[in-house]
């Protein structure tokens, strides 16, 4: 809440300067007071720093009425939160209903009773304080829940990596950053790109339902084994479940659609073109690039240049051409991600994904065959 001299700030607006002076004297014992004599002046004072914690607004003013001024205040996100108490000499129910419809919290009738004015101001500033405290608690709780979701996603992603390979490396971090960079290059807003980065590592969570011995085979898979692998998007969607929570909802979409192909030749649904959700198209490119450049025991990874060429060749067939173009733009930044989170083959399983948020604690390995779709 805005404070002036450690006291809440009240903006009093009235075209009667004598009444303004009276209200200022009455309120001065407990509040800092700012005054304005017309609607435009009220709008400027409400938007200025420090902003008032409450506005006393005369209804009947020359030029812009109090109703008009309130309408503008409530339409502006920067001032919409400030409580407005109307001052009126009429006290007619129709005018009161109009004021409440515009967002006012109360009415004080003229001639003004000093005790009533103080009581109304005190009550609504206290209510505003309580509302602000509750909103801060909600913001804090929301942030805590989002962090918990991120940690849960990280745990599930790491569980999938442990199941698929003999050791855990940095694929989790790379997938998140690749998806974010490609999304940004494709024109996504930063908040949307960050959300996709949080859920992208869950794209292969369905592999938990595929036997580890199948996932770790270095040779060619049999038809039944390949059928199990091809079902992992549906397994993943089932593991995540159906939720209204945005992160889990997006994670399910990504898990289910990241192996669909632009030309309709992918799986599990054979979706084609724009029918494939945008997030699935982005993660499809990020996943393919990661699989091509990941260190494997049974083969050497492709170079960045070789993998980039493979992705470009798949434009219009396997991948959305617009996403491939975004990928091409993101490649320089993706190189830096690869350098920050390299693979180092070893047998130590490190599940402390939170520790790897600092550069000094990076390490581990991602081994085992990358199953190409």
**Residues 19-39: pLDDT tens digits?**
999 999 999 989 999 999 999
CB under 8 Å to 288, separation ≥6 — which residues?
310, 311, 314, 318, 319, 372, 373
Residue 11 · residue 34 · CB < 8 Å: yes
359, pLDDT greater than 60 = no
Q: How confident is the model at residue 193 (pLDDT cuts 50, 70, 90)?
A: very high
Of the segments 19-23, 57-61, 254-258, 300-304, which one has the largest average pLDDT value? 254-258
Q: Is there a domain that residue 341 lies in?
A: yes
Cβ(236)–Cβ(192) below 8 Å? no
Determine, yes or no, domain membership for 249.
yes
pLDDT greater at residue 308 or residue 145: 308
187 and 271 within one domain: yes
Global model pTM greater than 0.75: no
Cα(181)–Cα(13) distance, integer angstroms: 50
Residue that has been written with the tokens 């494939």 in this structure:
276
Could you tell me if 79 and 73 are in contact, meaning their C-beta atoms sit under 8 angstroms apart?
A: yes
Q: Is residue 153 part of a domain?
A: no
Residue 73 or 245, more confident? 73
Note whether 322 and 166 are within 8 A (CB): no
Question: Which residues, 6+ apart, have CB-to-CB distance to 50 below 8 Å?
Answer: 2, 3, 4, 9
Cα–Cα distance, 288 to 238 (Å, whole number): 23
Tokens representing 241 are 């479940």
Which residue among 112, 141, 156 closes a domain?
Answer: 112
Average pLDDT over residues 228-239: 93
Is the pLDDT at 362 greater than 90? The verdict is no
Tens-digit pLDDT profile for residues 106-130: 989 888 899 999 999 999 999 988 8
> How far is C-alpha 74 from the chain's CA centre?
25
Residue 346, pLDDT above cutoff 70: no
Separation between Cα atoms, residue 192 and residue 194, nearest integer Å: 5
Q: Which of 91, 112, 133 is the last residue of a domain?
A: 112
Q: Tell me, yes or no, whether 175 and 105 share the same domain.
A: no
Mean pLDDT, residues 199-228 taken together: 87
Q: Is residue 141 part of a domain?
A: no
Strands (E), the chain: 3-4, 7-13, 32-36, 54-58, 84-88, 106-109
Range of the domain at 341: 170-361
CA 253 to chain centre: 17
Facing residues of 8 across strands? 3
Least confident range of 54-58, 145-149, 366-370? 366-370
Looking at residue 295, what is its pLDDT?
66
155 belongs to a structural domain: no
* Same domain for 178 and 97: no
**188 inside domain:** yes
Nearest C-alpha neighbor of 257 from the set 238, 296, 283: 283
Residue 372 lies in a domain: no
Q: Are residues 179 and 73 in the same domain?
A: no
Say whether both 261 and 352 belong to one domain: yes
Number of domains in the chain: 2
CB 361: neighbour CB atoms within 10 A?
Answer: 12
Q: Which residue has the higher pLDDT, 6 or 73?
A: 73
Ramachandran sector of residue 36 (left: φ over 0; alpha: ψ -120 to 50; beta: rest)? beta
| DSSP track, 107-137 | EEESSPPHHHHHHHHHHHHHHHHHHHHHHHH
Mean pLDDT of 41-46: 94
> Can you tell me which residue has the tokens 């992705």?
311
Residue 25 belongs to a domain: yes
Q: Which of 96, 112, 128 is the last residue of a domain?
A: 112
Residue 56 in contact with residue 32, Cβ under 8 Å? Answer: no
152-192 tens-digit pLDDT:
777 776 777 777 765 556 788 899 999 999 999 999 999 99
Per DSSP, the three-state class of 231 is: coil
Give the 3-state secondary structure of 138-159: HHHHHHHHHHHHHHHHHHHHHH
Residue range 65-74: mean pLDDT, rounded: 94
Q: Which of 215, 205, 214 is nearest to 172 (CA)?
A: 205
- Mean pLDDT (the chain) is 85
Question: Residue 24 CB: number of other CB atoms within 10 A?
Answer: 16
CATH number of domain containing 65: 3.40.50.2300
Q: What is the pairing mode between strands 84-88 and 54-58?
A: parallel
């Amino acid at each position: 809440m805005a404070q002036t001299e450690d006291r809440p700030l009240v903006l009093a607006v009235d075209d009667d300067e004598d009444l303004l002076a009276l209200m200022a004297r009455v309120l001065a014992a407990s509040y800092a007071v700012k005054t304005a004599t017309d609607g435009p002046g009220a709008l400027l004072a409400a938007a200025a720093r420090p902003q008032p914690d409450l506005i006393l607004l005369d209804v009947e003013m020359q030029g812009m009425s109090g109703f008009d001024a309130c309408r503008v205040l409530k339409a502006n996100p920067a001032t919409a939160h400030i409580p407005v108490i109307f001052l009126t000499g009429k006290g007619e129910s129709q005018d009161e209903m109009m004021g409440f419809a515009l967002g006012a919290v109360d009415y004080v009738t003229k001639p003004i009773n000093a005790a009533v004015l103080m009581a109304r101001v005190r009550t609504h500033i206290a209510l505003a304080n309580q509302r602000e405290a509750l909103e801060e608690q909600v913001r804090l709780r929301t942030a805590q829940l989002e962090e918990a979701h991120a940690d849960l996603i990280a745990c599930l992603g790491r569980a999938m990596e442990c199941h698929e390979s003999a050791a855990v490396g940095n694929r989790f971090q790379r997938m998140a950053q690749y998806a974010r960079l490609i999304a940004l290059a494709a024109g996504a807003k930063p908040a949307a790109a960050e959300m996709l980065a949080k859920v992208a590592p869950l794209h292969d969570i369905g592999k938990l339902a595929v036997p580890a011995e199948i996932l770790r085979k270095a040779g060619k898979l049999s038809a039944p084994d390949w059928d199990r692998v091809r079902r992992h998007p549906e397994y993943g969607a089932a593991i995540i479940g159906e939720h209204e929570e945005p992160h889990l909802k997006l994670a399910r979409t990504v898990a289910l659609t990241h192996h669909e192909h632009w030309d309709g030749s992918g799986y599990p649904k054979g979706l084609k073109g724009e029918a494939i959700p945008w997030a699935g198209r982005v993660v499809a490119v990020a996943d393919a690039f990661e699989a091509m450049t990941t260190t494997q025991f049974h083969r050497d990874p492709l170079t960045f240049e070789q993998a980039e060429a493979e992705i470009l060749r798949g434009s219009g067939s396997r991948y959305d051409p617009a996403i491939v173009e975004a990928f091409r733009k993101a490649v320089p930044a993706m190189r830096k991600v690869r350098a920050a989170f390299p693979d180092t083959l070893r047998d130590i399983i490190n599940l402390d994904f939170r520790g790897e948020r600092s550069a000094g604690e990076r390490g581990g390995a991602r081994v085992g065959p990358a199953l190409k779709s």
